[in-house]
Amino acid sequence: MAKGLMNEFSANDLNLQEFFTCCRRHGLKITPQRTEVYKILLGSADHPSAETVYQRAREILPNISLDTVNRTLATLVRIGAAFMVEGCGDVKRFDADMRNHQHFKCVSCKRIIDFSYKPFENVEVPAELSRRFKVLRAMVYVEGLCEACQASENQ
């Protein structure tokens, strides 16, 4: 599985316990499907699409359907256990790393790479915006070409 620049952790007990608490707080049953989808997302540093999560989940739960994965991902986003990655075109991509971090997206191969940069961590949201909307997160998003894609462009 691809690793991000700062993402060296995998699904651990602490995250799982927090997830179970989060489910209970929202009155959700802890099902094997929910647990597995969450664990896969938590252990994936590549910000997978629903389809990719589905492929990985099938290795553990052969009977899981893409529909279940889609619904579970939507639930994770709703309860704040994951979020949808911005600016990724038509295929939704997901992230369960709720720690403060930023994204670099390669516009060519669509890789989404995590990075951490202190000055970007406390992005100020205009007061007008936070008055009108319930702001869930503010991230800095950088796009361009990754090393591999630059190399192939220069050939």
Q: Which positions touch Zn ion (CB under 5 A)?
A: 95, 106, 108-109, 114, 146, 149
Decide whether 33 or 102 has the Cβ nearer to Zn ion: 102
* Contact between 135 and 129 (Cβ < 8 Å): yes
Decide whether 27 or 119 has the Cβ nearer to Zn ion: 119
> Which of 80, 7, 76, 1 minimizes the C-alpha distance to 38?
76
Closest approach, Cβ 91 to Zn ion, in A, equals 16
Separation CA 105–CA 86 (nearest Å):
10
Closest approach, Cβ 53 to Zn ion, in A, equals 14
Closest approach, Cβ 8 to Zn ion, in A, equals 13
Tally of CB atoms within 10 A around 57: 22
Closest approach, Cβ 28 to Zn ion, in A, equals 24
Separation CA 4–CA 114 (nearest Å):
5
Our measurement of the distance from residue 57's CA atom to the centroid of its chain's CA atoms, rounded to an integer in Å, reads 16
Closest approach, Cβ 58 to Zn ion, in A, equals 23
Decide whether 68 or 108 has the Cβ nearer to Zn ion: 108
Decide whether 55 or 108 has the Cβ nearer to Zn ion: 108
Decide whether 36 or 95 has the Cβ nearer to Zn ion: 95
Q: Which residues of 95-131 are buried (b: 16+ CB within 10 A; e: fewer)?
A: bbbeeebbbbbbeeeebbbbeeeeebeeeeeeeeeee
